[in-house]
Amino acid sequence: MGDLNLNKTSAVALVALAAFGITGCGNKGAAPSKDNIAVVNGEPIDYAAFYDYMERKPLVQVQGQQGAQDAPVVGSLGLQALRDLVTRKVLLQLAKEEGVLPAEADIRKEIEFRSVDNKDFVNMLIANKGMNLESIKSEIAFELARERLLTKGVTVSAQEVETYLKENADKFVVPAQAQLLWIIVRDRNKTRQVDQDLAQGQNFQTVATRYSEDRRVRETGASFPITRIDQMPTWLRDLVNKTPELKATDWRPDGSNFLKFYVLKKSASQPIVMDAHKKEILRRQLALDRGRLANDLEKRLNDRVRQAKIDIRPQHLKRPWDQAVEAAKMAADQAAATSTAGGTGTATTPGGGAGTAVPPTAPGTTKTGG
């Protein structure tokens, strides 16, 4: 088992469920028709305009350290989506050829498996993600096919799972948590005003939103964004550990600011209870880790995409696709030449960088564990 490496975060993630959300739009008195995605002040936006713009959208929002930020698209969203769909189709064709394409019964069984820890698994995707049952089944079929291709010929026994758990017990722990409120002020006189209001019994959250001079505190209702104690700065960790629940800390100078925290709730670290379901999730992950070492699926898919007969119909996508395919072939030839000369190289795929034939989590995935 020495070739397997799961850090604490990934171990906890093995038994975590992902949630998805999507926002909608509309206008009182006028509802979007089957041809319109929205109606704005009585004027419609049709699906054709929506998809046309989405294909060419030059910027996307990504999550950065300062919040949501615009980032330029590589190529275009249309080309990236086309690349993903082509690669997914090639993967399913490969799974069928190798006899590991999931059947309808396999998909139903997988839905039941993913619903063990989240009984609303399907309903959440339908209500919040805008998917229907057929699209959910399609995503699960793709995920199972990819997993089976990666783990074909790989076996992880129940005893190996137990051995791994015993040797890596520290990775299967729910870390110590603390829910905190906080206040940030820059004026020493305001610290005295805060202390006076708190001494009079006023609610910490109310006082924090009233006096805090940092908009992050006011906009989040004074909730401190970090809950894992081991991820907090050392000085804050010490403050939290010595402060009882429902009590406030002393003021802490921080540059030109003064900080005060209120401990709403604390919980000690505790081992994850590894029942049969969680052990099966772990067994799958160990098999995937071992399969990735033995099976270069991304290279196989890259090769098949380059060799496939692909007819791109829309002209605005055909030209960039052909250019990307040509660039990928040149990169593959260069990589082969480098490898022959004693070096290493990695081929690229249309619209993406090295080894991006199948993203680690494919767009629109319904993956929620296992």
Give the least confident one: 115-119, 194-198, 305-309.
Answer: 305-309
A 10 A CB-CB count for 115 gives 14
Q: How confident is the model at residue 69 (pLDDT cuts 50, 70, 90)?
A: confident
**Which residues make beta-bridge pairs with 180?**
263
Percentage of residues of the chain with pLDDT beyond 70 = 82
SS3 state of residue 232: coil
pLDDT for the residue numbered 35: 80
Judged against a pLDDT cut of 50, whether residue 147 lies above it is answered with yes
Find, among 82, 85, 22, the residue nearest to 56 by Cα.
Answer: 82
pLDDT for the residue numbered 47: 86
Q: How confident is the model at residue 269 (pLDDT cuts 50, 70, 90)?
A: very high
320 burial via Cβ count (<10 Å: 0-12, 13-18, 19+)? middle
- What number of residues does the chain have? 370
* Helices within the chain (DSSP H only): 8-13, 47-56, 77-97, 104-114, 121-129, 133-151, 158-167, 188-199, 204-211, 215-219, 234-242, 276-294, 297-307, 315-340
The pLDDT of 96-101, averaged and rounded, is: 96
SS3 state of residue 181: strand
A 10 A CB-CB count for 81 gives 16
Dist. CA 91–CA 100, nearest whole Å = 11
Judged against a pLDDT cut of 50, whether residue 30 lies above it is answered with no
A 10 A CB-CB count for 8 gives 14
Helix, strand, coil share of the chain (percent; to 5): 50, 15, 35
Model confidence over 329-351: pLDDT tens digits? 888 788 778 877 665 544 445 54
Give the least confident one: 17-26, 76-85, 151-160, 263-272.
Answer: 17-26
Domains annotated for the chain, with CATH where assigned, are: 57-152+295-370 (no CATH), 176-268 (3.10.50.40)
